[in-house]
Amino acid sequence: MLDFELIRRFQNALNGLAFKAKRELLAEGHRASGKGIDSIEGVITEESLDKLVGVIMANDYLVPVDTGVNAGRVPYQRGSGAGKSKYIEGLLDWADIIKPGLSAKARKSFVFAVASTHKVEGIPSNGSYSYTTNGRRTGWIVNSFETERAERDFEQVLDIVTYFTLSFERAIENIAA
């Protein structure tokens, strides 16, 4: 098995990446219920003698939050009378969180207005940019994990070179003793 100190460093590095992702989502203005942000965590998924694998876990719906949705792919057709729609149900749940004081009728009107806007502009809508503090509404994955700074920060927390140097020196001392 791998040394506890290496595993601890690796978990700390994963936690740092998860924290960056949470901070990015907040800055992009995605904080209605907080469930998406709370779902982000660094997890070690494999630990063996020669391998240590970690991932950043998050709710599935955060993928389209990252990429956005083209207007043509918004699953809404005004006046279709479809009756049931997971998209509309999701918007209704979201409206409950962000506008809790609306009556059921007003909430439904609000949701259909948002859906109509999404069908024209896509997601994120132009108006949603008023909720961002960094000017972005998409790209949280790239901006959290795939930058030189993120890579440098991860390596700095992990500090693998120092760890292996110290481990090697300890092994030499044990042999010499």
DSSP 64-93: HHHH-B-GGG----TT------HHHHHHHH
Measured between alpha carbons, how far is 110 from 69 in angstroms, rounded to an integer? 20
Integer angstrom CA distances of residue 19 from 14, 43, 111, 145: 9, 13, 31, 11
**Residue-level pLDDT at 120:** 97
Most confident of 8-12, 64-68, 159-163: 64-68
Dihedral sign, CA of 5, 11, 12, 14? Answer: positive
The residue count of the chain comes to 177
Integer angstrom CA distances of residue 117 from 71, 72, 122: 9, 12, 7
Domain boundaries, the chain: 1-68+131-177, 72-123
Threshold 0.85, pTM exceeds: no
Lowest mean pLDDT among 105-114, 119-128, 165-174: 165-174
* Residue-wise pLDDT tens digits, 11-57: 998 999 999 999 999 999 999 999 999 999 999 999 887 788 999 99
Residue 8 gets the label, from left (phi > 0), alpha (psi -120 to 50) or beta, of alpha
